[in-house]
Amino acid sequence: MSGHIPDEQGAEPYRNWNERIHAECYLPNADLGNFGKVSFNIGPTLLNWMEEYDPHTYQAIITQEKLNFEQYGVGNGMAQAYNHIILPLANKRDKITQIQWGIADFQHRFGHMPLGMWLPETAVDMETLVDLADNQIKFTILAPWQVEAQEPISGDEPYWVALPGDRDPMIVFLYNRGLSTSVSFQNDATRNADQFVEQWVMPSFMSSSDGQDRLQLIASDGELYGHHKTYRDKFLAHMLNGALHRRQVEITYPGLWLRDHQPSKFIKLNEYTSWSCHHGIVRWMGECDCTPGASWKAPLRWGLEKLAEDVDEEYQRFMTSYTRLKWQLRNDYIHVFLGEISLNELLERYIKQSLTNGEKENISKLLAAQFERQRIFTSCGWFFDSFHRIEPQNNIAYAAQAVWLTEQVAGVDLKAKAIALLRKVQDQRTGLRGDTVFLERYQRMQTFAEDKNAYFNPSSSFSN
């Protein structure tokens, strides 16, 4: 198993989609300096890949963010939940792991604490906001329909959301629906930056003129700028480097806005909502009108949740004789993965007794299983209508890896249960089944172990 990404159809003239999207979007936007002027978040998997593939662009993105931090005391980058999972569907323990891993990864790269966190698909519930606050995150961004208030919501300033206990409230920025929709879905709107400012941006500021600073926030998929839509990298640069300024609209980002302004109103959260499914968060757990007929989604969610419970139970059982802080140990495992500390150092912090090499090896395998088990819930596995795609199959492959690693240590049979659960996952058109995908990956783990006499290293997995 290696980090090599196989050739992919449709990505020509590049070898794969990562390379093509990089050339069309990340590279030109970094060259144009756009990463220093917008708020952005990039997932750890992509940044790991980019760091190796194109260190120059990777470094440019980091530097552009850091310059803001040095100049203003607040950066424009946002952290994200580590494995891009739908947080309201995760249990509290996983929410905390995802948030802490996301923060650790951000700090490792950008060298400072993030002020805000992007929630995957902006999916939210109260527990998620509580966990963000408990981990020193100050704000997040939501769609306007994810909140409600007595008075009409103008959205031209951020709001407070009250949290239980004696916590400070969470700050929520709402993006402008009309502006964001025009950028994402109306091709003509973004052909010319000056025209966009005239026809779309200026009217959004017209509704009142009380002399106060007012904010309009556009949220979009970052890969739109140059990849999904050609030349939009240049559109963005032109807008940021003059088109807005000429009409007295200054660019800012949430952290910078909060340095000079505080919210003045409270707003109520609509829990279990997201920006990309208008049926709440059903899209990532079953059938809704976003992906009609996707009958494989519910059994995939159910099956992977049951397997995750089993993997956790074995981890808990095994680790009990070593430490009571086994879940905190899992949260800190990210620092080993990031190369900040060694596994030995981590274990010494949590485990007082001296360990044999065999014990260390076992704990190491169980932690690797926990790493795999976190990413089995990556949201893109449920995003599309078909099971016969790489995303849901990747999630099952991670599950096979978590199950296999756990079995090596715990001596239990989780495979039979996995097969029974995933047999119910079936593509409605091609008939491909979840248990087939699981077995294929499980057997590859087996073969790999027999061949190399080594255990699987999660940092060198196949692409996602």
Interface region with Zn ion, contact rule CB under 5 A, candidates 81-89, 152-160, 281-289, 332-340? 281-289
Interface region with Zn ion, contact rule CB under 5 A, candidates 14-22, 183-191, 250-258, 275-283? 275-283
Residue from 279, 306, 389, 417 that binds Zn ion (CB under 5 A)?
Answer: 279
Check residue 277 for interaction with Zn ion (CB under 5 A).
yes
Tokens representing 323 are 């430490």
The percent helix, strand, coil of the chain (3-state, each to 5) is 55, 5, 40
Beta strand residue intervals within 65-215, DSSP E: 79-80, 117-118, 139-142, 147-148, 159-161, 170-174
Q: How many residues bind Zn ion (CB under 5 A)?
A: 5
| 8 Å CB contact between 269 and 146 | yes
Of 263 and 280, the one with the shorter C-beta distance to Zn ion is 280
Of 290 and 355, the one with the shorter C-beta distance to Zn ion is 290
Of 177 and 360, the one with the shorter C-beta distance to Zn ion is 177
Output the smallest distance, CB 349 to Zn ion, in A: 44
Output the smallest distance, CB 124 to Zn ion, in A: 15
Interface region with Zn ion, contact rule CB under 5 A, candidates 183-191, 242-250, 272-280, 381-389? 272-280
Check residue 15 for interaction with Zn ion (CB under 5 A).
no
φ, ψ of residue 236 to 5 degrees: the values are -65, -45
Residue from 95, 283, 301, 441 that binds Zn ion (CB under 5 A)?
Answer: 283
Helix (H, G, I), strand (E, B) or coil at 114: coil
Rg (CA), the chain: 23
For residues 408 and 446, give the distance between their C-alpha atoms in angstroms, rounded to a whole number: 10
Interface region with Zn ion, contact rule CB under 5 A, candidates 41-49, 84-92, 143-151, 286-294? 286-294
Residues 231, 237, 241: CA angle, nearest 5 degrees: 150
Of 64 and 274, the one with the shorter C-beta distance to Zn ion is 274
| 8 Å CB contact between 179 and 216 | yes
Footprint (CB under 5 A) of Zn ion, residues 40-99: none
Of 279 and 306, the one with the shorter C-beta distance to Zn ion is 279
| 8 Å CB contact between 85 and 379 | yes
Q: Which long-range contacts (CB under 8 A, 24 or more apart) does 58-62 make?
A: 60/30, 60/31, 60/35, 61/26, 61/30, 61/35, 62/109, 62/110
Output the smallest distance, CB 460 to Zn ion, in A: 35
Of 283 and 297, the one with the shorter C-beta distance to Zn ion is 283
Of 291 and 362, the one with the shorter C-beta distance to Zn ion is 291
DSSP β-ladder status, 117-118 and 79-80: parallel
Check residue 249 for interaction with Zn ion (CB under 5 A).
no
Output the smallest distance, CB 280 to Zn ion, in A: 8
For residues 394 and 376, give the distance between their C-alpha atoms in angstroms, rounded to a whole number: 8
Footprint (CB under 5 A) of Zn ion, residues 289-348: 290
Interface region with Zn ion, contact rule CB under 5 A, candidates 204-212, 280-288, 307-315, 441-449? 280-288
3 state SS for 152-169:
CCCCCCCEEECCCCCCCC
Tokens representing 175 are 């993006």
H/E run at residue 59: helix 55-72
Residue from 67, 130, 288, 343 that binds Zn ion (CB under 5 A)?
Answer: 288
Of 124 and 236, the one with the shorter C-beta distance to Zn ion is 124
Position 312: which residue type?
D
Q: Which residues sit at the interface with Zn ion, rule CB under 5 A?
A: 277, 279, 283, 288, 290
